[in-house]
Copies of this chain bind each other. A is one copy, B any other.
């Protein structure tokens, strides 16, 4: 199992040139998203959503807001990945569905409702930063899963954050409760494309710190 994950992790590269003649079948996209849906999240609140852009017109609307990157229109699918800063709030449909599911499975009891409300409030609303970090971190988990799932299905991806956040939010009528952590181009590699060697990465000893 570790050799295969190593292969997936090495095979996953950020691709700049996609095959414009090869679409991503809908069932492959659904399989990719369903695989990533297993991602863990804070209290299972899953504060992520996706907008799926497939139409040329939609991608052309996005491209000038994303540094005019050709892959925005060349990739058959571009996902606008959304992080829901309000996913921890009482009354949010996912929050409430999660609560119902916990009661149903017996992992929570009705009289723990106040505990649950206090827990999410105290963790994700103690500062202005906390609800943004909650959304961005969990959606980061989800986006990474999307990339591995894509690789495992033979797809290529490119996570992009070179875009005008406010302009994309406005142009695509994205409600204020969302932060946009990234756009994700999804498709197949342009035939004949040769990749540069993988970029350097920090080693274990550069990652681990102590104070």
Contact = CB atoms under 8 A, between A and B. Distances in A.
A57 interface: no
Interface stretch (A68-76, A186-194, A202-210): A202-210
Interface in A17-37: 30-31, 33-37
A82 B137 CA distance: 11
Contacts of A56: none
Given A140-B141, A203-B37, A208 B49 contact: yes
B199 A105 contact: yes
A1 B4 contact: yes
Contact of A207 (B48, B134, B174): B48
A105 B11 CA distance: 20
Contact of A9 (B82, B105, B145, B208): B145
Contacts of A95: none
Contacts of A161: 42, 123, 134, 137
A189 to B, nearest CB: 15
- The 3 tightest CB contacts between A and B, nearest first, are A140-B140, A5-B152, A144-B144
Contacts of A179: 129, 133
B49 A5 contact: no
